[in-house]
Structure 1
Amino acid sequence: MGIRSFMNWVFLAGFLCAHAHVGATKLGNSSAVEEDADSVAEMVQRSIESKKRELGYLSCGTGNPIDDCWRCDPNWERNRKRLADCGVGFGRNAVGGKNGRFYVVTSSGDDPVNPPPGTLRHAVIQTEPLWIIFKTSMFIHLKEELIMNSFKTIDGRGANVHIAYGPCITIQYVTNIIIHGVHVHDCKPGGNAMVRSSPTHYGWRTRSDGDAVSIFGGSHIWVDHCSLWNCADGLIDAVIGSTAITISNNHFAHHNEVMLLGHSDSYTQDSTMQVTIAFNHFGAGLVQRMPRCRHGYFHVVNNDYTHWEMYAIGGSANPTINSQGNRYLAPANPFAKEVTKHENCNGNECQGWNWRSEGDLMLNGAFFTSSGAGASASYAKASSLGARPSSMVGPLTGNAGVLHCRARARC
């Protein structure tokens, strides 16, 4: 994920998420794609419910502090904003649209310059705090990047919402964003077009990378219970001084470069980056970057890694990586058993990087190459998230990805 051209800086001067990918065939016309998307949504939902029945987990009392904070409430629909009080880790203070009104998305349509009221784009560009919900299930095919404004929550609970087959979500130089309960997949590059970023400003966007969620200079960001797969670039990338981020309870599948955290080895401003990655399921068809880190501090806690083809966690430019209570299941490939990959360093330099594994469960020959003196007590305390034993990873991550929530019932 590279620095966007100077034109994007000018553009922004006008305003201060266990689901296997179904492998839907991409058809040449929009009606066929929408029909195919409906089939994908139905098959994904059946897969979710089947997995939950197999695991036999309750909707609460799992030890997952996020879920146990709100999912036991049968009146969750009336108390949606309670979610904003349930964050953990570095992104725990992201309030999203908690202090604003509800905005109901009624249409799946998209106009990048003049978005009609009732569309997702019209909602996210508003300057006021908004808690955005969906009237019904929908498939949203964006024509250009969805440029979000600060203090917004996208809350897909109670509906089956897919954002796919076009450019997807961009969180650029804004703060206090919560994205919860949406499928984001098959995202493609966009740009070289006009896109609106606020009610009073639109401007020229150069080509985007095709990320599912792109965080660029953003802070206080929380991505929770989303299902993400098969995009042109990253599933979640955070660069250019982004910080105070939590990525939790998501299901990742069928993708190569899953997550990039840190812009480049030379961009030392990313040394302030702090990211918590917790309770996620890294599933079928993943290759690498779960995540790939630079410069900052990364707390990787109680995640379930069941697939990687090259490595799970990598980094360069002396990042601190604190891996606690994860379950790492190595692939059959005898040359891909190592969880970690130290990149762009010689032996002595790599040995000084502060990477540690504490309480992780290593299966099928998996091994973690530690380095440095171990994460400092101050860094560990700063994450504000105590690791559960790795033996609990099953129930902690058993409902990762988009939940099936119904009104007047526990979610």
Structure 2
Amino acid sequence: MAAALRLSCLCFLQLLIVIVLFINSSADNSIEEAEQFQSLSNSTMVNRLNGNDELRHEHAVDDPEAIASMVDMSIRNSTERRKLGYFSCTTGNPIDDCWRCDRNWQRNRRRLADCSIGFGRNAIGGRDGRFYVVTDSGDDDPVNPRPGTLRHAVIQDEPLWIVFKRDMHITLKQELIMNSFKTIDARGVNVHIANGACITIQFVTNIIIHGLHIHDCKPTGNAMVRSSPSHYGWRTMADGDAISIFGSSHIWVDHNSLSNCADGLIDAIMGSTAITISNNYFTHHNEVILLGHSDSYVRDKVMQVTIAFNHFGEGLIQRMPRCRHGYFHVVNNDYTHWEMYAIGGSAAPTINSQGNRYLAPVNPFAKEVTKRVEPWEGSWKQWNWRSVGDLLLNGAYFTASGRAAPGSYARASSLAAKSSSMVGMITSNAGALS
């Protein structure tokens, strides 16, 4: 009897070992296949993008709700790994967990390009180019910038991964006009772009902006400014946005601290699309984010923007974001301050609000998260604005509208009811990292 029992236990242990080995092998294979797919996707995109304006806008996906579902899957996978203890550093934030779990991230900086999610997930920036080290904080001549300056770096025709030799405070005389396939990576140093002009992303593609402090931007212009090694031209007055995105695609703005500019903190207009705005810390500003040029500019129907893991903090008034025409996925953001409203829109945008934390102000007349600007009474009732799993605090309320959720939207929202309770942890490191 005892011998039979020992034999049964041995067989059970052998079976258990086989199952564990099978699971590990499957997980390794899945990771390898995912990496191969990501590499193939990025390579294909680089080969197809040739600067043609129409081609860039073909990257607006046919089914935006499928991208929302992919974001949700990324969040779920990151959360499940945290529960299983695969990585001791995981926070439930899939972007940060992608690169911050690597103790040697400074040696593997370009891995960041594989960490984006949402509509801007294919923005590779300067991943396939060389490193460019900014050594000079000056901006004496916007037409003939000195080598070693940030302006000299961003106008080059080749892909570049731009880093900084040391802490810097850069005051730009005129707009910093970026060329395609550039990453500005300020991790590990303290870099401020402030008290002058700021960043313009115009008619280009594949831009990553990470880790900057951008504040106190001022209107500039009526001057000559270089945009590439072979071209400079006359610039009229700029509004004074921190980051202005104009007719561009595959843009990722991540882990920046933005505040107190003359116009907007981030504006994306004139047919821009394939954008992710993530992990940023917004403070002390009136009109925070504008997405869409005007109600009459119907080409902004191609606009698709993911707004994820941001902290909308103290001193904010409105437009977090203010949307027109396109499709906007607002997911896992922490709204701790607004004075008028959080999310606004006109021209029938689709807004998918999922798993956010909305803390209303004390003002009893500013409790509503949403604001519609409609041409006639009741027209907004057909706009597709949805709130799923949002945490509404201090009397906050979200006015939904539009059609009942289709199956694909239901899949995109499957984790929302759980994730809003994690927003504090997911956004705890929003902004430029020290």
Task: Establish whether TM, by shorter chain, passes 0.5.
Answer: yes
Structure 2 residue 183 is matched with structure 1 residue 160: no
One-letter identity of the residue aligned with 1:270: D
Bigger radius of gyration, 1 or 2? 2
CA shift digits 1:45-93 (9 cap, x unpaired): xxxxxxxxxxxxx993111000000101111100000100000000000
Whole-Å Cα distance in 2 between the matches of residues 378 and 391 of structure 1? 23
Whole-Å Cα distance in 2 between the matches of residues 209 and 317 of structure 1? 23
Structure 2 residue 269 is matched with structure 1 residue 239: yes
**How far 1:373 sits from its partner (Å)?**
1.2
One-letter identity of the residue aligned with 2:166: T
1:308 to 334, 338, 341: 338
**How far 1:345 sits from its partner (Å)?**
3.4
CA shift digits 1:229-252 (9 cap, x unpaired): 000000000000000000000000
Whole-Å Cα distance in 2 between the matches of residues 284 and 59 of structure 1? 31
Partner of 1:228: 258
1:341 to 371, 378, 401: 371
Structure 2 residue 130 is matched with structure 1 residue 97: no
CA shift digits 1:265-324 (9 cap, x unpaired): 000000110000000000000000000000000000000000000000000000000000
Contact 1:59 1:71 in 2 (8 A): no
Whole-Å Cα distance in 1 between the matches of residues 148 and 409 of structure 2? 43
Structure 1 residues 279 and 338, CA gap change in structure 2 (3 angstroms):
same
Structure 2 residue 92 is matched with structure 1 residue 63: yes
Partner of 2:421: 391
TM-score by length of 2: 0.78
Partner of 1:20: none
Unaligned stretches of 5+ residues in structure 2: 1-52, 57-86
List 4+ stretches of structure 1 deviating above 6 A.
383-386
Whole-Å Cα distance in 2 between the matches of residues 256 and 278 of structure 1? 20
Structure 2 residue 208 is matched with structure 1 residue 178: yes
TM-score by length of 1: 0.82
Matches within 5 A, 1:350-365: 350-365=380-395
Partner of 1:77: 106
**How far 1:344 sits from its partner (Å)?**
2.4
**How far 1:389 sits from its partner (Å)?**
1.3
Contact 2:354 2:413 in 1 (8 A): no
Contact 1:90 1:384 in 2 (8 A): no
Whole-Å Cα distance in 2 between the matches of residues 196 and 380 of structure 1? 48
Give the length in aligned residue pairs.
348
SS at 2:142 equivalent: coil
Structure 1 residues 193 and 398, CA gap change in structure 2 (3 angstroms):
same
Contact 2:317 2:338 in 1 (8 A): yes
**How far 1:375 sits from its partner (Å)?**
5.4
One-letter identity of the residue aligned with 1:238: A
One-letter identity of the residue aligned with 1:69: C
Structure 1 residues 188 and 384, CA gap change in structure 2 (3 angstroms):
farther
1:150 to 180, 185, 192: 180
Whole-Å Cα distance in 1 between the matches of residues 410 and 224 of structure 2? 44
Contact 1:215 1:242 in 2 (8 A): yes
Pairwise CA RMSD of aligned residues? 1.9
Structure 1 residues 399 and 322, CA gap change in structure 2 (3 angstroms):
same
2:292 to 258, 262, 272: 262
Whole-Å Cα distance in 1 between the matches of residues 213 and 430 of structure 2? 12
Whole-Å Cα distance in 1 between the matches of residues 376 and 365 of structure 2? 21
CA shift digits 1:24-58 (9 cap, x unpaired): xxxxxxxxxxxxxxxxxxxxxxxxxxxxxxxxxx9
Contact 1:188 1:231 in 2 (8 A): yes
Partner of 2:162: 132
Partner of 2:278: 248
Partner of 1:209: 239
Q: What percentage of aligned pairs have identical amino acids? A: 77
Q: Which has the higher helix share?
A: 2
One-letter identity of the residue aligned with 2:308: A
Partner of 1:367: 397
Contact 1:307 1:329 in 2 (8 A): yes
Unaligned stretches of 5+ residues in structure 1: 1-12, 17-57, 405-411
Whole-Å Cα distance in 1 between the matches of residues 124 and 150 of structure 2? 19
Structure 1 residues 379 and 211, CA gap change in structure 2 (3 angstroms):
farther
Name which structure has the greater RCO, CA cutoff 8 Å, separation 6+: 1
